[in-house]
Amino acid sequence: MIMLQINPQRILRCRNQITKIILILIGVFISYSSTVDVIPVLKEIVKTEENIQVKIEGLTKGNGDSIAIAAKIINTSKSKRCYINQDIILYFNNAEYYDYKLSKLNIKGNFYTNENNVLCMDVTNFKIIIIHNELKKYFHNLNNYYKYEIENFSKLKKDTKSFLIALTTGNKTLFENQSKDLFIRTGTIHLFAVSGLHFGVIYLIIKTCLSLFIKKNWITSIIIVLILYLYLVFINEPISATRAFFMLTFWEVHSVNRKKKSALSTISMAFIFSYIANPLSFYSVSFQLSFSIVLVIIWFFSGKLRTNNKGSKSFIINTITASSASFSGSFLILLVSFKQFVPIAIISNIFLVPLAFPMMVACIVYCFFFFLFNIDLIFILDYTYKIVVFLLDFFDFKNFYFHGLDFKLSKANYIILPAIIILFFNINLQAFTKFIFIILIQTMIIMISF
């Protein structure tokens, strides 16, 4: 009876605030949490380069820009046999490499004991030596086969081959430094980090094709989620792609249940499930960038920003808005993690991001004919890549690319921006005001850190 006397809007507002506070507290807790204690050894060893075999056991806290992984030594050189079954801390530059719960690794690096007499290794190279999941093993081999066929039998130019492999799998190792630097200087290297942009394009293509033949929504949704999952496994489950997969999955679930779709709820669920799938991912730059950028984009497209304009005018406004949101959401993380600031990215992405759809379609068409009919449609991709390079050269203003900036900041500070956006999410502000607001917050974080 008491609840009936309370205004329902006040109840919903209260629940909304509680949800925001819970999400923020979860983020703070995760950022400072530690799950593994490493036992000290009794004998100090001199720093040497070693090859060892380890089994990953969990997560400990990072040191500076590196990620610290707790493991157990299962094999070493003859001179280090006494350290078998000993705990060790492995320091990596990032955590974007494998599912730590399933992996045994061959590790190469500097082997030493730290000031607390704990075994450590600064990892310079590693190799996964076991994959428990047969499905993942099959698609891992399929990925290698895909790259091998493109590299050795495609008649595309070398740069175009690298472009195709990078755009479809996220693997940028084949890019020559000159080509890769061009994408970095123009702030468009993210096009090759398989994420929401790529999954969104594939999602639209699959959904459009299936809607022509299948009328039941739930069957369409199951097929879409299954195909997207297989693609996720094929590209080795990068963090940004995992986030995109979970978001589209929950979006389809809402669609089947005919419930009102909420982008904020979708990204919140994707955050939770991404962390459950790989707790180490929380400490990676990709995880932080992916969720920060998408959260800012969702905020920019909420409230008063929804425009009644139709056609080309609406498209231009939305493209500029998305580019501004991406830049402001990634500004601080890129500055701290990669020591770079690329203001030209706001303009270059306005032109390059809309080309992502035709680029992905061109790649899919090329691969379809190349692998199924052994027909090499060279002109499709070579022409596409020439257009991309032409635009990049146009926006390659070296005076607008700042790198090597010596700036340090605790990664726990990355929580501040998402927390503030969640708290202010329902406050209606214009797009330009939101942009200035986010830049000012991040500038204040930088100033305070000094």
Q: Concatenate the DSSP letters of all residues of 347-399 into one string.
A: HHHHHHGGGHHHHHHHHHHHHHHHHHS----HHHHHHHHHHHHHHHHHT--GG
pLDDT digits (tens, 9 = 90+) for 26-41: 655 655 554 555 666 6
How does residue 25 score in pLDDT terms, banded at 50, 70 and 90? low
Q: What is the mean pLDDT of residues 402-418?
A: 74
Name the range with the highest mean pLDDT among 128-132, 182-186, 299-303, 414-418.
182-186
pLDDT digits (tens, 9 = 90+) for 34-85: 455 566 666 667 777 888 999 887 665 555 556 778 888 898 887 788 888 8
Give the residue with greater pLDDT, 296 vs 94: 296
pLDDT digits (tens, 9 = 90+) for 230-259: 999 998 888 888 989 999 998 888 877 766
Q: Is the predicted pLDDT of residue 367 greater than 90, yes or no?
A: yes
Nearest C-alpha neighbor of 22 from the set 422, 449, 444? 422
Q: Percentage of the chain with pLDDT > 70?
A: 81
The pLDDT score that the predictor gives to residue 27 is: 59
pTM of the model: 0.79
The pLDDT score that the predictor gives to residue 6 is: 42
Q: What is the mean pLDDT of residues 364-392?
A: 91
Give the residue with greater pLDDT, 13 vs 399: 399
Q: What is the mean pLDDT of residues 215-238?
A: 90
Name the range with the highest mean pLDDT among 110-119, 133-142, 222-231.
222-231
Cα gap 322→439, rounded to integer Å: 15
Q: DSSP H helical segments within 104-235, as ranges? A: 134-153, 158-169, 177-185, 196-211, 217-234
The pLDDT score that the predictor gives to residue 41 is: 67
The pLDDT score that the predictor gives to residue 417 is: 82
pLDDT digits (tens, 9 = 90+) for 156-179: 999 999 999 999 998 887 887 778
Cα gap 253→248, rounded to integer Å: 9
Query: Are residues 281 and 98 in contact, defined by beta-carbon separation less than 8 angstroms?
Result: no
Q: Is the predicted pLDDT of residue 310 greater than 50, yes or no?
A: yes
Q: Is the predicted pLDDT of residue 2 greater than 50, yes or no?
A: no
Domains present along the chain, CATH in parentheses: 48-128 (2.40.50), 140-449 (no CATH)
